[in-house]
Chain A
Amino acid sequence: MKAPISTSIAIAIGLLVLFGYFIPIDGLMQLREILLGWGVILAAVALLVGVANLVYSHVRKLRDGGVSRANSIVLIVSLGLTLAIVGWFGPTHSYSMWIFNNIQLPIEASLMAILAVILAYASIRLLQRRLNLLSIVFVVSALVVLISTAPIFGVEVPGLNEFRLWVIQVPAAAGARGILLGVGLGITATALRILLGADRPFGG
């Protein structure tokens, strides 16, 4: 086992939190709350480390040269300006909100619009790449839901809306629940492997 002390501490804390969730003993439940609180604080500190890592990687890109130097300059200047304005005036001040409403929001909305085009294109490409029954069902279902939600030229096809509701409520919901069952078992298995010390998906 690599790093046995830190691994043992991680397993012990994991088990305490797990049993604190199931077994209603006051001391255990309080300990669980404290440990989860520490986790939240550490995650917040890690966010700051993430920002530092982002800046460092762009400073390195700037220093090393390359095709996307302009992007790195824009990122560092924008980050510095936003940090200064929001730090000085506060996050709810009109200057801070102006940045959010006039820069962040339009950019993200534009990317969302691009996403719609990319997804339409990806659906067509899917038929070229994997022409099988599942792909055809996927594309036809997407078209049915799209056309019945936003009818072309306002013309509603009789029965299409009912068919859309049936698709969403029966086959789509059943499929999603099946996938979620597999995902839930996968989550539990991953957590148990770590708690048993059989897997350590990070360094140390």
Chain B
Amino acid sequence: MTLAGIIGLIFVLFFAGLIIVFTFTSRKLQKSYLREIPAFMKLRNAVGLVVEAGTRLHLSLGRGEIIGPESSVGLVGLSALARIGHTTANSDRSPVATSGTGPLGILSQDTFGSISRSIGAEFDPLNGRVSGLTPFSYAAGVLSVINDENVGVNILIGNFGSEVALITEAGERANSLTVAGTDNITAQAILYASAQEPLIGEETYASGAYLGAGSSHIASLRAQDLLRWVLISIILIGAILKLAGVL
């Protein structure tokens, strides 16, 4: 076992331990722990308005493959879908999820199936749909959903490329709120300019905590914050040691 492997394993186990400890030890502190993120405040209000106005909520899960690091942000999108899907399940128009890969399409249908069973409603497989399998065909498919299906709120949480600008522009033209976050650096820059409410960096991964998906989400946020300071300290110490000629 290499030194990098040992350090990696210790890091993962320590991270997991922190999540477990924070989940069980700080339940009372958890709500006050979250700072205000404007995107989530606006999203909570907009979800309520969507239900009242009878418009549709659209969540786009991006094009991340399920076997790779980009799957993670897609799973965050699915968590948000499960949470928001339950909130808006009783509205006149059920939410719709679009994705650019087969596995995410199947998982979104699975999530809608689970929501339908829990509220005793009929499951419509068209609520979770694959809109296209190449970047631009995916974006083109999402455009038709935004333009034709009376969408009031767009939530984009997933792996996107530069094509995401076409989607945010369609949301802008339809006068619907667009909240968007991704793991892709290029797409993040594009979203900062084009989305009404962009989520930067780890804010995307905090979606579950802000949408009330459970105490484990807030616990993992606390663990991330702690480990971020640990990593920043290591980077700074390393830089100082390098400057001093020790490393």
Contacts and interface: CB of A to CB of B under 8 A. Distances in A.
Given A47-B101, A111-B139, A115-B162, A186 B205 contact: yes
B208 A199 contact: yes
Contact of A111 (B110, B163, B193): B163
B91 interface: no
Where chain A touches its partner, the secondary structure class is helix
A193 B217 contact: yes
Given A22-B8, A23-B1, A199-B217, A108 B136 contact: yes
A190 interface: yes
Contacts of B115: 203
B196 to A, nearest CB: 7
Contacts of B205: 182-183, 185-187, 189-190
A74 B77 CA distance: 30
A114 B163 CA distance: 10
Interface in B103-154: 103, 105-107, 109-115, 125-126, 129-136, 139-141, 144, 147-148
A71 interface: yes
B200 A179 contact: yes
A67 B149 CA distance: 10
Interface in A1-59: 2, 18, 22-24, 36, 39-40, 42-43, 45-51, 53-54, 56-57
Contacts of B113: 203
A37 B225 CA distance: 35
A202 interface: yes
Interface in B56-94: 65-67, 69, 72-73, 75-76, 78-79, 82
B209 to A, nearest CB: 10
Q: How large is the interface on B (under 10, 10 to 19, 20 to 34, 35 or more residues)?
A: 35 or more
A183 B183 contact: yes
A68 interface: yes
Contacts of A154: none
Contacts of B30: none
A48 B103 CA distance: 10
Contact of B201 (A183, A190, A192): A183
A171 B105 CA distance: 38
Interface of A: 2, 18, 22-24, 36, 39-40, 42-43, 45-51, 53-54, 56-57, 60, 66-68, 71, 104, 107-108, 111-112, 114-115, 118-119, 122-123, 125-126, 129, 138, 176, 178-183, 185-196, 198-199, 201-204
16 contacts: A36-B67, A47-B101, A57-B126, A125-B193, A126-B192, A129-B196, A182-B205, A185-B227, A185-B231, A189-B223, A198-B216, A198-B219, A199-B217, A202-B107, A203-B113, A203-B114
Listed from nearest, the 7 A-B pairs whose CB atoms lie closest are: A203-B114, A186-B205, A50-B102, A182-B202, A46-B102, A198-B216, A182-B201
Interface of B: 1, 5-6, 8-9, 12, 15-16, 19-20, 23, 65-67, 69, 72-73, 75-76, 78-79, 82, 101-103, 105-107, 109-115, 125-126, 129-136, 139-141, 144, 147-148, 162-163, 165-166, 168-169, 172, 183, 185, 188, 190, 192-194, 196, 200-202, 204-206, 208, 213-214, 216-217, 219-221, 223-224, 227-228, 231
